[in-house]
């Protein structure tokens, strides 16, 4: 079984196409639930009507499934994202 850290490492490859930072760097991944079947990843989007949502969700599913070997479901949470959710908000200065 993959660890949550291994899944997050795989998810670092999923990049927001407008901000050019990974969904992990942006703090969008809020929870990884491996006890569920399929695996559930609960995450936010940077904006409620993100035009890249379908693409990002598919990339998250593919990345997580590649590590766990199990089907993955992505749940988009209704919470509003803010830069303060980032592990390092200073990364936005690169953008």
Per domain, the residue ranges of the chain are 4-83
pLDDT at position 94 over 70: no
pLDDT at position 95 over 90: no
What local confidence, expressed as pLDDT, does residue 91 receive?
Answer: 82
Q: Which one is predicted more confidently, 91 or 15?
A: 15
Which CATH superfamily is 4-83 part of? Fe-S cluster assembly (FSCA) (3.30.300.130)
pLDDT band for position 85 (50/70/90)? Answer: very high
pLDDT in tens, 24-72: 999 999 999 999 899 999 999 999 889 999 999 999 999 999 999 999 9
Question: CA 92 to CA 21: how far, in whole Å?
Answer: 8
pLDDT at position 93 over 90: no
Q: What does pLDDT average to over the chain?
A: 93
Question: CA 34 to CA 44: how far, in whole Å?
Answer: 18
And the tokens for 79? Answer: 């919470």
DSSP 31-50: EEETTSSSEEEEE--SSTT-
pTM: 0.91
């Amino acid at each position: 079984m993959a660890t949550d850290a291994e899944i997050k490492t795989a998810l670092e490859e999923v990049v927001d196409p407008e901000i050019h930072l990974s969904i992990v760097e942006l703090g969008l991944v809020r929870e990884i639930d491996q006890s569920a079947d399929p695996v559930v990843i609960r995450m936010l989007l940077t904006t409620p009507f993100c035009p890249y949502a379908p693409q990002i969700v598919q990339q998250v599913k593919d990345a997580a499934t590649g590590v766990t070997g199990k089907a993955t479901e992505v749940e988009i949470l209704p919470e509003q994202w803010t830069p303060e959710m980032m592990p390092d908000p200073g990364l936005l200065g690169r953008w």
